[in-house]
C-alpha cells in the first residue's frame, strides 16, 4: 500500500468536448468525496489554460443535483482548451499553482495531446520534488488513443450518427423514385473510427444492401475513379446510395482530399471539412446524378439526447477509477477501458497504462476489419462496436427541450500574480 498523500485534487478537461466527458468529472467528484486524504475538490477551468490563469473552482460547493446532472450534460462543463504548453515558464507556472493550492492529485480528461501534457507536468513535479499523482482519463470521439480498447465519447457519437443514417435513409426510401446519392460528412481527423461506426445503422450485422452503402475512411486512400464506380454499382442495385465520409479522407499521396480551409489548430492539426460537398460535386459532374450532402458538424459530439448509456457508464467509471488509482499510489498513468475476453458477453473494466505509452500515439482502425471492397466493415468491427452503443441515456426535458446543468463555478481565491502569456 502506497504512502498516504494528503491534499487537494484538481480535475480538468481538455480538447474537443464529447457527450460524456462530464460524466468522468462526476465520477471523479463522487469518488473523491469518499476519501479523506482528498481535502478539497477543485476544477480547473478551460484545461491547462485555466490552471495557468489560476482559474480554479470549488466543485464540492456545487449542489448534488448539479453533479448528478453532469452525468447527462454534454460538452465540457469546466470548459476546455486547445492550448499547448510549450515554454518552460508555462510548466513552471503550472507547478507553482499546484504548490500554492496544495494540489496533490491531478486528473486530466482528454485525448493524446492532453495525456502528453499530464505526463510532462508530472515529470516536472518529480524533478522538483513536489509529491503529486497525475492520472489521465481517456476522452475522445475519435477513438484513436492507443492501448485502451475504446475511448469514452466514441460509443455516443457512433450511436448518434447511426441513428441519423437510419432516419435519413427512411426518408430516402420514401422518396425513392429516382437515383439519389446522399452523403453524410462526419468527424475523424486521422482515423476512420467514426465513419466506420455508421455501419451500425445496418443493424447488428454486415449487409451490403442496407445503408450506409459506402463508407470512405482515411485508412483507405481515396480514388475518384473507384468512388464513381462504387456509386454506380450501388445504384444498379438500390434506388439511392448512402455514403458516409470521414473528414480526414486522404488520397494515394497522403494529402487531405479537399479541405475547405488551410487553417491549423494550436497543435498543428489541419482544420478539416468539405469532403461531403466534394463527393457531391464529383457525382453531379461526372455521373449527372442528383446528390445531396449534409454535415452534422459540432453537434455530432454534443448530442447527449441521443447518447449511449454504456458509453456514459464507462466514462463515469473511468473518472472513479482515476481517483481510486491515484489514492492507491499510482501516478503517470491513464485509465484504460479493457474488454473481457473470457466470455461472449461484453464486460468492460478499467486498467492503467503509463502516460508515455499513450501520448501522441494514434490507433488506426485495423485494416483487417475493413472488407475487401474498402467501403464497408466486416463482422469483427460489428462485434467490436455493437456493445458500445447499448442503452439510451435518459435526459430530463423541460418546455420540450433537454435541460442540462450549468456549474455555479465558485472561484477559489487567487493567490498568485497574473501569468504572462507570450
Catalytic residues: 142
Residues 389, 162 contacting (CB under 8 angstroms): yes
172 is a contact residue toward a second copy (CB under 8 A): yes
Q: How far is the CB of 48 from a second copy (least distance, A)?
A: 12
46 is a contact residue toward a second copy (CB under 8 A): yes
350 is a contact residue toward a second copy (CB under 8 A): no
Lookup: cell for 306: 441521443
Please, which residue, 184 or 359, has the CB nearer to a second copy? 184
Identify residues 148-167 at the interface with a second copy (CB under 8 A): 159, 162-164, 166-167
404 is a contact residue toward a second copy (CB under 8 A): yes
Q: How far is the CB of 295 from a second copy (least distance, A)?
A: 5
Residues 188, 295 contacting (CB under 8 angstroms): no
In angstroms, rounded to a whole number, what is the distance separating the alpha carbons of residues 46 and 55?
A: 8
Q: Which residues contact 361 (CB under 8 A, 6 or more apart)?
A: 112, 145, 146, 147
297 is a contact residue toward a second copy (CB under 8 A): yes
3-state DSSP assignment of residue 193: helix
In angstroms, rounded to a whole number, what is the distance separating the alpha carbons of residues 382 and 139?
A: 22
Q: How far is the CB of 359 from a second copy (least distance, A)?
A: 22
Identify residues 198-217 at the interface with a second copy (CB under 8 A): 200-201, 203-204
Instruction: Name the segment binding a second copy (CB under 8 A); options: 100-108, 186-194, 217-225, 299-307.
Output: 299-307
273 is a contact residue toward a second copy (CB under 8 A): yes
187 is a contact residue toward a second copy (CB under 8 A): no
DSSP element (H, E) containing 244: strand 240-246
Among 143, 182, 199, 258, binds a second copy (CB under 8 A): 182
Cell 488509482 belongs to 325
Instruction: Name the segment binding a second copy (CB under 8 A); options: 52-60, 133-141, 186-194, 293-301.
Output: 293-301
In angstroms, rounded to a whole number, what is the distance separating the alpha carbons of residues 140 and 161?
A: 15
| Positive/negative CA dihedral, 81, 85, 87, 92 | positive
Instruction: Name the segment binding a second copy (CB under 8 A); options: 31-39, 168-176, 208-216, 348-356.
Output: 168-176
CA distance from start to end of the chain: 43
Q: How far is the CB of 404 from a second copy (least distance, A)?
A: 6
Q: Which residues contact 300 (CB under 8 A, 6 or more apart)?
A: 141, 157, 160, 161, 186, 187, 194
Instruction: Give strand pairing partners of 160.
Output: none
Q: How far is the CB of 397 from a second copy (least distance, A)?
A: 6
Among 8, 11, 12, 17, binds a second copy (CB under 8 A): 17
119 is a contact residue toward a second copy (CB under 8 A): no
| Positive/negative CA dihedral, 18, 20, 25, 31 | negative
341 is a contact residue toward a second copy (CB under 8 A): no
* DSSP designation for 411: B
Please, which residue, 379 or 397, has the CB nearer to a second copy? 397
Among 89, 171, 229, 373, binds a second copy (CB under 8 A): 171
Among 175, 347, 362, 416, binds a second copy (CB under 8 A): 175
296 is a contact residue toward a second copy (CB under 8 A): yes
Residues 185, 275 contacting (CB under 8 angstroms): yes
Is-cis flag, bond preceding 212, omega within 30?
A: yes
75 is a contact residue toward a second copy (CB under 8 A): yes
In angstroms, rounded to a whole number, what is the distance separating the alpha carbons of residues 347 and 350?
A: 10
416 is a contact residue toward a second copy (CB under 8 A): no
Q: How far is the CB of 403 from a second copy (least distance, A)?
A: 9
| Positive/negative CA dihedral, 295, 297, 303, 307 | positive
Paired sense of beta strands 333-339 and 38-44, if any? unpaired
Q: How far is the CB of 324 from a second copy (least distance, A)?
A: 26
Binding site for a second copy (CB under 8 A): 13, 16-17, 46, 49, 73-83, 159, 162-164, 166-168, 170-177, 182, 184, 200-201, 203-204, 261, 263, 273, 277, 284, 290, 292-299, 301-306, 308, 310, 386, 389-392, 397, 399-402, 404
Amino acid at each position: 500500500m502506497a504512502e498516504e498523500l494528503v491534499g487537494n485534487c484538481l480535475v480538468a478537461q481538455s480538447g474537443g468536448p464529447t457527450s460524456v466527458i462530464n460524466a468522468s468529472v462526476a465520477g471523479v467528484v463522487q469518488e473523491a468525496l469518499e476519501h479523506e486524504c482528498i481535502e478539497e475538490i477543485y476544477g480547473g477551468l478551460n484545461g491547462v489554460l485555466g490552471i495557468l490563469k489560476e482559474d480554479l473552482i470549488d466543485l464540492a460547493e456545487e449542489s448534488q443535483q448539479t453533479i448528478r446532472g453532469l452525468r447527462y450534460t454534454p460538452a465540457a462543463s469546466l470548459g476546455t482548451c486547445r492550448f499547448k504548453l510549450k515554454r518552460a515558464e508555462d510548466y513552471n507556472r503550472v507547478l507553482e499553482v499546484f504548490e500554492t493550492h496544495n494540489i496533490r492529485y491531478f486528473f486530466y480528461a482528454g485525448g493524446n495531446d492532453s495525456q502528453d501534457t499530464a505526463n510532462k507536468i508530472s515529470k516536472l513535479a518529480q524533478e522538483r520534488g513536489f509529491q503529486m499523482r497525475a492520472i489521465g482519463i481517456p476522452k475522445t470521439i475519435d477513438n484513436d488513443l492507443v492501448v485502451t480498447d475504446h475511448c469514452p465519447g466514441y460509443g455516443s457519437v457512433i450511436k448518434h450518427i447511426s441513428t441519423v443514417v437510419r432516419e435519413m435513409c427512411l426518408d430516402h426510401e420514401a422518396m425513392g423514385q429516382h437515383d439519389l446519392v446522399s452523403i453524410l460528412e462526419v468527424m475523424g481527423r486521422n482515423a476512420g473510427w467514426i465513419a466506420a461506426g455508421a455501419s451500425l445503422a445496418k443493424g447488428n450485422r454486415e449487409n451490403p444492401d442496407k445503408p450506409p452503402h459506402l463508407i470512405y475512411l482515411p485508412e483507405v486512400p481515396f480514388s475518384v475513379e473507384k468512388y464513381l464506380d462504387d456509386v454506380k454499382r450501388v445504384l444498379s442495385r438500390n434506388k439511392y446510395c448512402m455514403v458516409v465520409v470521414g473528414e480526414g479522407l486522404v488520397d494515394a499521396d497522403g494529402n487531405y482530399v479537399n479541405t475547405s480551409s488551410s487553417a491549423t489548430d494550436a497543435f498543428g492539426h489541419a482544420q478539416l471539412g468539405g469532403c461531403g460537398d466534394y463527393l457531391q460535386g464529383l457525382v453531379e459532374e461526372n455521373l449527372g446524378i442528383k446528390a445531396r450532402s449534409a454535415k452534422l458538424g459540432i453537434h455530432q459530439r454534443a448530442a447527449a439526447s441521443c447518447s449511449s448509456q454504456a458509453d456514459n457508464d464507462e466514462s463515469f467509471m473511468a473518472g472513479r477509477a482515476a481517483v481510486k488509482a491515484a489514492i492507491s499510489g499510482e501516478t503517470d498513468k491513464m485509465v484504460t477501458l479493457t474488454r473481457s475476453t473470457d466470455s461472449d458477453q461484453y464486460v468492460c473494466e478499467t486498467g492503467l497504462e503509463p502516460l508515455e505509452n499513450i501520448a501522441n500515439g494514434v490507433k488506426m482502425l485495423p485494416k483487417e476489419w475493413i472488407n475487401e471492397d474498402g467501403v464497408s466493415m466486416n463482422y469483427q468491427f460489428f462485434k467490436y462496436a455493437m456493445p458500445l452503443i447499448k442503452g439510451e441515456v435518459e435526459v430530463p426535458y423541460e418546455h420540450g427541450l433537454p435541460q442540462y446543468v450549468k456549474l455555479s463555478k465558485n472561484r477559489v481565491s487567487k493567490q498568485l500574480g497574473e501569468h504572462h502569456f507570450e
